[in-house]
Amino acid sequence: MPGASPFTPYSAYSSLIAAVRGWARNRRRDLRLDECVSYEIARMAREVGLSPSELRRMSKLKPDAAKLLLERMAALHLDPETLAKNDPSTMRDLQRLCSNCVSKKRCERDLASHRDDPAWRQYCPNAGTLDALQFEAVNARCGN
């Protein structure tokens, strides 16, 4: 269908990378970004809400590159499914930042051994957004 976006909402449990790869697979079999001309890459990036450089970088990541985000959200009692449904752009931003984070090893260790230690806020690129989401969730539960 011309004009319709091939990008559909996806489960919060699949990463943004999986969504990008799935989108690419649906658009063209065995799509390789290094074989595309720049205007095609720009169009594809726009359709999934990324810049062309982010699309190139994310296309090289593993499908589970943002799995630590889901673990962190669980530790904070945040529902990724609800966020993906109600605010997909925020979920994509969280996944993008987590996927490109340079502190994955530290985050993984902290989640495994010190799940409730607030030290993660010092290195996590999503700390501010996750704190805001947690604040909103607490206020919603309290009826404020």
How much is the pLDDT for 1? 44
Domain range list for the chain: 16-59, 67-142
Torsion from C-alpha of 73, 77, 78, 79, nearest 10 degrees: 100
Confidence of residue 49 (pLDDT cuts 50, 70, 90): confident
- What is the overall mean pLDDT for the chain? 80
Tell me the pLDDT band of 14, cut-offs 50, 70 and 90: low
Higher pLDDT, 117 or 58: 117
**Confidence (pTM):** 0.64
Phi (first) and psi of residue 40, to 5 degrees: -70, -40
Range in 10-14, 91-95, 134-138 with the lowest mean pLDDT: 10-14
